Amino acid sequence: MALSLILASSSPYRRTLLKQLRLPFRHFAPHINEEAKPRESASALALRLAEEKACALAPANPQSLIIGSDQVAECNGRILGKPGNREGAIAQLRACSGSKITFFTGLSVFNSATKKHLSSVETFTVYFRQLSIEQIERYVELEEPYDCAGSFKVEGLGITLFEKLEGSDINTLVGLPLIRLVDFLGEFGISPLAPATREPKAAS
């Protein structure tokens, strides 16, 4: 039986990224506790949440490959959450001005039929320019990045905030490391470049 592909996420950004692979998939929001454990590192938190998201949908989807992903941002040793509002976004960007943010993006692909799990954490670092309060407030006004860890959207005007980007897959920064995901799907026998299945010809 062919496995269906499921994205364990309510994020429109992750759905847009996964659509790039041109594989049919469904998506559902996993319901898990996303709070960090005491002394849990940003990398460990990202990995744990990605795995928990994938596993959360397994009982209702027993013949599926379930993709879980979660991103945690860290600046100057402090984990950054989603700002939630204008004041939070401005405060985050002021704290990150002239500094670097490292994004840890956990990725997990869980085969709910065999219970096989493939997981990793991909990193991406952004280096912020020195930003004036006027620039920060204008950026927040234009893009309202309230649902983004780090308070920016790299696929939009957020690119103007940076001096340099450092990492192997820009999609990691958006929230779904596609290069690693293609590797994991390949181990489960799924390839976006596999030959199309042809319908059998009707007998003449």
Q: Give domain status of residue 194, yes or no.
A: no
Instruction: Please give the pLDDT value at position 199.
Output: 45
CA nearest neighbour of 92 among 138, 126, 140: 140
CA 130/CA 40 separation, integer angstroms: 30
β-strand pairing of 64-75 with 4-8: parallel
Residue 161: phi, psi to the nearest 5? -85, -10
Q: Give domain status of residue 201, yes or no.
A: no
Instruction: Please give the pLDDT value at position 74.
Output: 92
Domain that holds residue 160: 4-187
Q: Among 70, 147, 169, 183, which one carries the catalytic annotation?
A: 70
Q: Give domain status of residue 12, yes or no.
A: yes
Question: What residues have CB less than 8 Å from 104, skipping those under 6 apart?
Answer: 42, 43, 45, 46, 47, 71, 72, 73, 74, 121, 122, 123
Instruction: Please give the pLDDT value at position 1.
Output: 52
The per-residue pLDDT string of the chain (204 residues; one tens digit each, 9 = 90 and over) reads 578 999 999 889 899 999 999 999 999 999 898 888 998 999 999 999 999 999 999 999 999 999 999 999 999 888 888 899 999 999 999 999 999 999 999 999 999 999 999 999 999 999 999 999 999 999 999 999 998 888 988 888 999 999 999 999 999 988 899 999 999 999 999 999 988 755 444 444
What does pTM read for this prediction? 0.87
Looking up residue 49, the CATH number of its domain turns out to be: 3.90.950.10
Q: Give domain status of residue 8, yes or no.
A: yes
Instruction: Please give the pLDDT value at position 148.
Output: 85
CA 198/CA 3 separation, integer angstroms: 19
CB 135 within 8 Å of CB 76? no
Number of domains in the chain: 1
Instruction: Please give the pLDDT value at position 182.
Output: 97
Query: Distance between terminal CA atoms of the chain?
Result: 30
Active site residue 70: yes
Query: b/e map of 35-57 (b: 16 or more CB within 10 Å)?
Result: eeeeeeebbbbbbbbbbbbbbbb
Q: Give domain status of residue 195, yes or no.
A: no
Q: Give domain status of residue 204, yes or no.
A: no
H/E element, 50: helix 42-56
Question: What residues have CB less than 8 Å from 18, skipping those under 6 apart?
Answer: 7, 25, 67, 176, 178, 181
Q: Give domain status of residue 199, yes or no.
A: no
Q: Give domain status of residue 192, yes or no.
A: no
What is the chain's alpha carbon radius of gyration, rounded to the nearest angstrom? 19
Question: Which residue do the tokens 């990605």 mark?
Answer: 50
